[in-house]
A and B are shown apart, each in its own frame.
Chain A
């Protein structure tokens, strides 16, 4: 029930098959009923009474013994929340009984806040005497037709707008076209008081008027008399929600603490009681009015405690009560928190750490976790002995079992004491919940789950230690690192879910990203450096090569050439399948006019011919994630299992190369020869001179302004241009003069980590610190820092850092760096919720689009959105970077 008081959800149950009697208990698990549709409507007083199982008459909750009072708000006819009690209505116990509604008879009618605007509209546009809508008979029909047309053409939302327009037109009519009665202006005093000619219309009168409105006229207001009559919006009886949705909590002290709703209902019942008494006693009108208003207030806040004109009802502690509306709406509300979002058992969460020696589609699970998470296995004649072994070991010894589930659904814990009995008892049909074991299926996830690769299926491998282990190659799709990240593990519990997870979610099935059609898993970091070194110019002995390959897990070395010295390319080729052909470009390719192909002096032309790496260096461009077609082609040709295995081997090979050669970064990597230093100094000096000139020109008004820019803006742009050029020049100098064989350079060249710019920033010059596309502007009056002169336009005073990180920054430079650092931090902090909201909206708008059997893309209403997905019907995850690679096909056919 979503909003108990306002409407029912009638649940139509489609019964494909009548449940047969005497079915075996286990078959009860099959779902034979499905909800077919949900109808929304408003509850009438009659329905409320009909569906109620108790009339609530007293605000008391419990008697002296602490037993719920009959006719009180915790009446056990409304359901039970105490263990041991039985519901008087259905006879079920706690958790079995869903709860039942009650009702109270209101002493005077009360306006329902959520319908105030609607009631107001009807009052304004119907006759106060005859209750007909203030449109002449002749025009009613055409108005209806017009609305129907709007709905047919543009949907229900537009119809609502049409209704609004009609009401706006009609409310100024001051003579009823039907009975010729004079109409007065009705106004609404928020939240719930209606006024006519500055006189209050009390809810009794309002209700009387609403009763007069005919069913036919209601259609113009967009209401359907079958489901709602306007007078139902003025409450005469009120439904009391079942206790099960407002359970009380027993505090440690044994005291009972009631739910917010119960508190509110208590107020309502109490005031209602007093109102009754006062009316019966014939109290003066003013007292009755006051009580009436008070009852109105309580009922209003019961529905919505955040109405602008009313002070929210509060606890004694002062915090506002959470009533019906607050329960439903927002992220923490019923809909988004409990209905659209679910919780789960059989899951684990801990810190993750890397293990390159497990396969990519495996996940290392700590033994402690494996002994808590279980997999249910149904006993049959053939696996009885096998499953008995688990029971024998019990919950304390791995691999054991924790629970036995009997066919009637009773779950029994296995302990040292019950072990023997369980062993005796089990027979086919029982379910054993055994510990997690190697090869079991698990779903592994890291938040934020931004794409489907954030949740993939892995095979369990139980390992010592206390962290979840994953192969570092799969970090990229999860966007994980090991600086303290935690990840979640879920164990599917049914055969169906396991099959689905395995077929649809396992790592190898997710290799090709549906975002761009390339591999999302590739080599990263050290692996790239390693393979770069290996394929560049490494030469090792045959023994070393075999050692290297065997430590990556290979046993077959016949592909290694029979000679004593073996090149790195030959070692790499061993991993490649014999009939694999590929050409590509390495990262250092200069994209020359005429490519020298195999003779490229930079070794940038990657050619694999019949499984032999003929030329070229393997680097990020070909091995990295989301780049290059090498992995994509391999996937296409040899399939997902092979590619996954290949990636695993590549990974271990790369790491092992580095293990054997050694790899380290030192400060001396950023050393530059004297000449280079001199040149860098000169460039920076020149830039400074240029800027000075610009400033001179600016102050002498000789600068040509850019169109549409002021003089000052032009100057800033010109300065930025000069300084950026200077920084780029220093970068080029660093690239030219620094030692190519340092490990820092290797990392930058191979694309393993960092780039030339980072190196230049360390070795030579950090460069201009820019904020919002401009130089850093004044912080103090007319200057950035108090150590500069006012109006100083020089590079130094506006965030140009001419030192490199190695030489060290001046205090002012350091501060400028800190400014941009903080700025980018802010940027990230502000961006995350914005992009998150955009994502939520996109997902919500498009979640029900699917491809139909005829190839069209349609939404849930069967409306066609695209005639063919993406115009050509190609699935991106089956394409090669979004296209069908015609060139490859032609080439492959010779």
Chain B
């Protein structure tokens, strides 16, 4: 509907908005009038060159930061799980922390499963189950040189773990033992005779943590109905393994762990994920921050091709200027390192020029004009 020449002049979202809102019965002349007006307004609304967008974005996120609550909150409804929200979550994201406090996934499913087919079963399969969860007692029989694990048969039934599955799972990680199950007790007998008691203890600790089933790292699963379809929300995140499952819709499944997203989908996805996660928190606090500011922060974090936190080890360490780095944190370190290679500070950014009492090359300080004053006779 909208001519190409106009589409080139406007952004995609505005074109879509126009498509949706121009009354279908309008005449061509009127459409042209509307388009011209939109283009004019769009051009008026463009950022001016030299605008210090970075500072504005920092302000726009820093200022509402003081109004955010520190507490972690329940996430949507009583029955669902705890997710870190508020300021701690924002700090966590922007720090570029590798281990986040509450990793979480939203697993979308393909057709038959997304309607709720075997959803509980599927969820159970995903959840990581360890030996200690189905054991009521783990004991060491020193005389017999065995580890005796009393099994909780009810729990096993609930998780539909059969004895065969258990035996198979235990076999591999803990070697050198003969395993059998008798009267709900898993007896692991040491094969070698000379092995010390110490090894028995070690094996006991090891067997406790043996994973019987599920995806590593997923500690909790929760099937929920979202709109028309069923999805699975998990505590713990392991995108790589989850995406391998055939039931999973890999196009929509996400995690809140930015580094995991970077590793599986790449930086562009990680950037989008930073934007989504930060925006989610800000929105949940009832604050109004424009998405562009968050985008700029995400872009600064990802501009190097890798996700870098906004810390002295991350984004700040990549600045070109020695003085700018020194003015942030650990000034001595930066000055000394600069001296060793004879680093030159070109004074291109803000703080250095503030330090030297010179105009800053941003905004009104950007144009460099030399005015020749008339010579005095």
Chain A residues engaging chain B, CB cutoff 8 angstroms = 2-3, 6-7, 16-17, 20, 22-24, 27, 30, 34-42, 114-115, 118, 154-157, 160, 222-224, 226-228, 325, 328-329, 333, 335-336, 339-340, 342, 448, 450-452, 500, 504, 514-518, 626, 706-708, 717-718, 720-721, 772-773, 827, 830-832, 834-836, 838-839, 841-853, 855, 857, 859-866, 869-876, 878-879, 881-884, 886-887, 889-890, 892-894
B332 contacts the other chain (CB 8 A): yes
B49 in contact with A886 (CB, 8 Å): no
Cα(A280)–Cα(B332), bound, Å? 37
Cα(A157)–Cα(B316), bound, Å? 11
A2 in contact with B335 (CB, 8 Å): yes
Q: Provide the residues of chain B in CB contact with A841, threshold 8 Å.
A: 94, 310-311, 316, 328
Cα(A228)–Cα(B341), bound, Å? 7
Q: Provide the residues of chain B in CB contact with A336, threshold 8 Å.
A: 327
A849 in contact with B304 (CB, 8 Å): no
Q: Which 9 A-B pairs have the closest CB atoms?
A: A849-B54, A227-B342, A839-B62, A870-B292, A860-B349, A846-B54, A872-B11, A848-B349, A861-B320
Q: How many residues of B contact A (CB 8 A)?
A: 120
Q: Provide the residues of chain B in CB contact with A832, threshold 8 Å.
A: 66
Q: Provide the residues of chain A in CB contact with B304, threshold 8 Å.
A: 154-155
Choice from B55, B63, B343, B355 contacting A515 with Cβ under 8 Å: B63
Q: Can you list 21 A-B pairs, Cβ within 8 angstroms, ordered by A?
A: A38-B352, A114-B336, A224-B340, A328-B332, A335-B355, A450-B59, A500-B364, A718-B78, A831-B66, A831-B68, A838-B65, A838-B90, A841-B310, A845-B300, A847-B54, A847-B55, A848-B324, A848-B348, A849-B54, A859-B320, A872-B14
Choice from B65, B78, B345, B346 contacting A717 with Cβ under 8 Å: B78
Choice from B64, B297, B336, B370 contacting A115 with Cβ under 8 Å: B336
In the complex, chain B residues 264-290 whose Cβ is within 8 Å of any chain A Cβ: 288-290
A874 in contact with B336 (CB, 8 Å): no
Cα(A154)–Cα(B303), bound, Å? 11
A893 in contact with B54 (CB, 8 Å): no
B134 contacts the other chain (CB 8 A): no
Choice from B34, B46, B61, B375 contacting A875 with Cβ under 8 Å: B46
B174 contacts the other chain (CB 8 A): no
B122 contacts the other chain (CB 8 A): no
6 more contacts with CB within 8 A, not counting A37-B344, A451-B62, are A42-B340, A450-B66, A839-B58, A845-B316, A875-B47, A882-B291
Q: Provide the residues of chain A in CB contact with B66, threshold 8 Å.
A: 448, 450, 831-832, 835-836
A40 in contact with B332 (CB, 8 Å): no
B44 contacts the other chain (CB 8 A): yes
Q: Which of B17-25, B100-108, B147-155 contacts A (4 or more CB under 8 A)?
A: B17-25
Q: Which residue of A lies closest to B127 (CB)?
A: A708
Cα(A851)–Cα(B296), bound, Å? 12
Q: How far is the CB of A659 from chain B (nearest CB, A)?
A: 33
A884 in contact with B335 (CB, 8 Å): no
In the complex, chain B residues 340-366 whose Cβ is within 8 Å of any chain A Cβ: 340-352, 354-356, 358, 361-364, 366
Q: Which of B35-43, B161-169, B177-185 contacts A (4 or more CB under 8 A)?
A: B35-43
B321 contacts the other chain (CB 8 A): yes
Q: Provide the residues of chain A in CB contact with B50, threshold 8 Å.
A: 850-851
Q: Provide the residues of chain A in CB contact with B375, threshold 8 Å.
A: 20
Q: Provide the residues of chain A in CB contact with B11, threshold 8 Å.
A: 871-874
Cα(A894)–Cα(B34), bound, Å? 10
Cα(A24)–Cα(B292), bound, Å? 50
Cα(A224)–Cα(B343), bound, Å? 9
A340 in contact with B327 (CB, 8 Å): yes
B210 contacts the other chain (CB 8 A): no
Given A452-B56, A707-B222: A861 touches B348 (CB 8 Å cut-off): yes
B121 contacts the other chain (CB 8 A): no
Q: Which residue of A lies closest to B30 (CB)?
A: A893
Q: Provide the residues of chain B in CB contact with A872, threshold 8 Å.
A: 11-14
Q: Provide the residues of chain B in CB contact with A717, threshold 8 Å.
A: 78-79
Q: Provide the residues of chain B in CB contact with A860, threshold 8 Å.
A: 319-321, 324, 348-350, 361
Choice from B13, B64, B292, B299 contacting A876 with Cβ under 8 Å: B292
B348 in contact with A851 (CB, 8 Å): no
A879 in contact with B62 (CB, 8 Å): no
Give B193-229 as 1s and 0s: 1 = Cβ < 8 Å from A's Cβ atoms: 0000000000000000000000000001110000000
B160 contacts the other chain (CB 8 A): no
Q: Which residue of B lies closest to A9 (CB)?
A: B345
Most buried by A among B59, B69, B291: B59
B326 in contact with A118 (CB, 8 Å): no
Cα(A226)–Cα(B344), bound, Å? 13
Cα(A882)–Cα(B358), bound, Å? 34
Cα(A336)–Cα(B326), bound, Å? 9
Q: Provide the residues of chain B in CB contact with A514, threshold 8 Å.
A: 56, 59-60
A773 in contact with B71 (CB, 8 Å): yes
B156 contacts the other chain (CB 8 A): no
B296 in contact with A865 (CB, 8 Å): yes
A339 in contact with B235 (CB, 8 Å): no
Cα(A865)–Cα(B303), bound, Å? 6
B318 contacts the other chain (CB 8 A): yes
Most buried by B among A160, A871, A890: A890
Choice from B65, B291, B347 contacting A36 with Cβ under 8 Å: B347
Cα(A46)–Cα(B347), bound, Å? 28
B221 in contact with A39 (CB, 8 Å): no
Given A228-B342, A849-B300: A893 touches B37 (CB 8 Å cut-off): yes
Q: Provide the residues of chain A in CB contact with B317, threshold 8 Å.
A: 157
Given A118-B340, A889-B37: A870 touches B63 (CB 8 Å cut-off): no
Q: Which residue of B lies closest to A27 (CB)?
A: B373
